[in-house]
Structure 1
Amino acid sequence: MIKKLVRLSKNTALLLIDIQKGLDEHSFYGGNPNNLEAEVNAAKILAHWRKNGQPVFHVRHSSQNIASPLHASKPGFDIKEGVKPLDHEPLFTKNVNSAFIGTDLEQVLRDKSIKSLVVVGLTTNHCVSTSVRMAANLGFETVLVSDACAAFDQKGVNGQTFDAELVHQTALASLKDEFAQIVSTAQLLE
């Protein structure tokens, strides 16, 4: 069970990654997402964290590609309504996959003596995976909530399309145990 591997405490931070309006433009990202409930589950977890006075950190992606829905000049740059940061919740803006590169996220977590993270967001195989891997490599105990993140269909090197659910499950399998403990929203909120 979750308490054996990762010690969740009042000082366990919730890290919400790239839950932005631009990711609703599915065709730009390769097709259909696998988990349409990801944002609903992220909002439930966020409400729980806020209710319990636990630390919350938001990350958004600022694409350097002017055509991207996540470019800072586009409406898609905005974080979705259900998970928007409150005034006192830190918001970090990145322009690469990792939430730790080009931001002071790591220093802020260390300054607040945060040693464990719960991660939710988009997309499982890109920014979520990269950030989870780096969090673990930096020494943070990390929990990834499987049904509070999602992936899109992906084209393989030979042009084959891989279904979003397969992409999502493969990304989770690659992170499981080595980089993060994988749990569902229900397991986390028990």
Structure 2
Amino acid sequence: MNNKSVLLVVDVQNGFTPGGHLAVAAADQIIPLINQLAAQFQQVVLTQDWHPVDHISFAKQHPDKQAYDSVQLDYGNQVLWPIHCVQGTHDADFHPDLNINHAQLIIRKGVNPHIDSYSAFQEADRKTTTGLAGYLRERGIQRVFVVGIATDFCVAWSAIDSANLGFETYVIEDACQGIDLNGSLAQAWQAMQHAGVHKIQAADIAQILNADQNHA
């Protein structure tokens, strides 16, 4: 373990796993690997989708639209979703198999009813920050490793913001699961690569962390 790297665990919640209101196929299958990875990190941050019931990203709030349609809002294009991860519901709870008791911080996303929030660092208006960047800098974090759900939305947005904020950023591909909505997975990987995000596998972690420790 080392103190220059953080594992950012994105939205491993009931709502995004089989049986949830916005389930991603096979997303529960990555949880044991995420637990194993977390044991190698001293610093762990979790994100949690935490919507009010009338959130603007819900298709139900737009009578002439269906789930997965897109609309233009004040801050830009917005994919509309089924109602999911409503505050205080079972759907919003962390998946019961997630076992990371030493996580120090939970970032709740999508709390503002008028703005969606995919990234752990800032909301979709690209102005409202969560404070995560400052938290990581105060702790001397230099490297951010991202895992979770979904690769092509909240994972990708978080990773791109992390890289743009100056953190050395890695997405652990086999510890993520994507939706792939109309080619969104390939587009997300392209955008992450363009931002300087490194795509790695879980098996690569030990070598990277050891190098981090050796240069401490």
Moved over 6 A (4+): none
Amino acid across the alignment from 1:139:
G
Q: Does 1:183 align with 2:195?
A: no
Alignment: residue pair count: 168
Cα displacement string for residues 50-90 of structure 1 (whole angstroms, at most 9, x for unaligned residues): xxxx2111111112455623111320111123335536611
Q: How does 1:109-128 map to 2 (within 5 A)?
A: 109-128=136-155
Question: Match for residue 30 of structure 2?
Answer: 38
TM-score scaled to structure 2, two decimals?
A: 0.67
Candidates 6, 24, 38, aligned match of 1:13: 6
Q: How does 1:99-110 map to 2 (within 5 A)?
A: 99-101=120-122, 102-110=129-137
Contact 1:150 1:168 in 2 (8 A): no
Question: Match for residue 49 of structure 2?
Answer: 61
Gaps of 5+ in 1: 1-7, 157-161
Contact 1:123 1:150 in 2 (8 A): yes
Gaps of 5+ in 2: 55-81, 111-116, 123-128, 208-216
Question: Match for residue 76 of structure 1?
Answer: 91
Amino acid across the alignment from 2:142:
K
Q: Distance in 1 between matches of 2:12 and 2:24?
A: 16
Question: Match for residue 5 of structure 1?
Answer: none
Rg comparison, structure with higher value: 2
Cα 1:17/1:65, change in 2 over 3 Å: same
Amino acid across the alignment from 2:195:
E
Q: Distance in 1 between matches of 2:37 and 2:196?
A: 21
Contact 1:38 1:149 in 2 (8 A): yes
Determine helix, strand or coil for the equivalent of 1:81: coil
CA RMSD after TM alignment: 2.6
Cα 1:186/1:169, change in 2 over 3 Å: farther
Cα displacement string for residues 100-123 of structure 1 (whole angstroms, at most 9, x for unaligned residues): 124221111011111111110110
Q: Distance in 2 between matches of 1:87 and 1:186?
A: 22
Q: Distance in 2 between matches of 1:88 and 1:25?
A: 24
More helix by share: 1
